[in-house]
Amino acid sequence: MKVRKHWTVSALKDFETCPAKYQWSYLYDAEDWRKLGYRVVPSTGSPAMQRGTDIHQTCEDYLLGKVAIEGLHKEIPNAWRNLVRGLKDIGATPEEMWTLDDGWNVVPDNDKSMWLRMKIDAHYLPSQKALVVVDYKTGKPYTSNMEQVELYALAGFAKFDDVDYVQGELWYFDSDEPHEKTFKREAAPKLARKWEQRATALLEAKSYPAKLNRFCNWCPYNYGKGGPCTAPRDLAGRAA
For ligand SF4, give the closer residue by CB, 20 or 188: 20
Task: Check: CB of residue 151 under 8 Å from CB of residue 9.
Answer: yes
For ligand SF4, give the closer residue by CB, 69 or 236: 236
How far is residue 191's CA from residue 9's CA, in Å, rounded to a whole number? 14
* Maximum separation of any 2 CA atoms in the chain, in Å: 62
- 106: which DSSP letter? B
Packing angle of the helix pair 9-17, 188-203 (nearest 10 deg): 60
For ligand SF4, give the closer residue by CB, 116 or 210: 210
Interface with ligand SF4 by CB under 6 A: which residues? 18, 20-21, 210-213, 215-216, 219, 221-222, 229, 231-232
Q: What is the nearest approach in angstroms of ligand SF4 to the Cβ of residue 71? A: 36
For ligand SF4, give the closer residue by CB, 165 or 223: 223
E strand map for 18-92? none
Task: Check: CB of residue 122 under 8 Å from CB of residue 63.
Answer: yes
For ligand SF4, give the closer residue by CB, 134 or 219: 219
Residues 6+ apart with CB under 8 A from 118: 8, 9, 97, 98, 99, 151, 152, 155
Q: What is the nearest approach in angstroms of ligand SF4 to the Cβ of residue 212? A: 5
3-state secondary structure of 72: coil
For ligand SF4, give the closer residue by CB, 76 or 210: 210
The CA-based dihedral angle spanning residues 51, 53, 55, 61, taken in that order and rounded to the nearest 10 degrees: -150
For ligand SF4, give the closer residue by CB, 148 or 222: 222
How far is residue 195's CA from residue 13's CA, in Å, rounded to a whole number? 12
Q: What is the nearest approach in angstroms of ligand SF4 to the Cβ of residue 174? A: 24
How far is residue 196's CA from residue 12's CA, in Å, rounded to a whole number? 11
Sign of the Cα torsion 204, 208, 213, 219 reads: positive
Q: What is the nearest approach in angstroms of ligand SF4 to the Cβ of residue 170? A: 24
Q: What is the nearest approach in angstroms of ligand SF4 to the Cβ of residue 240? A: 18
Q: What is the nearest approach in angstroms of ligand SF4 to the Cβ of residue 141? A: 22
Q: What is the nearest approach in angstroms of ligand SF4 to the Cβ of residue 42? A: 10
How far is residue 141's CA from residue 146's CA, in Å, rounded to a whole number? 9
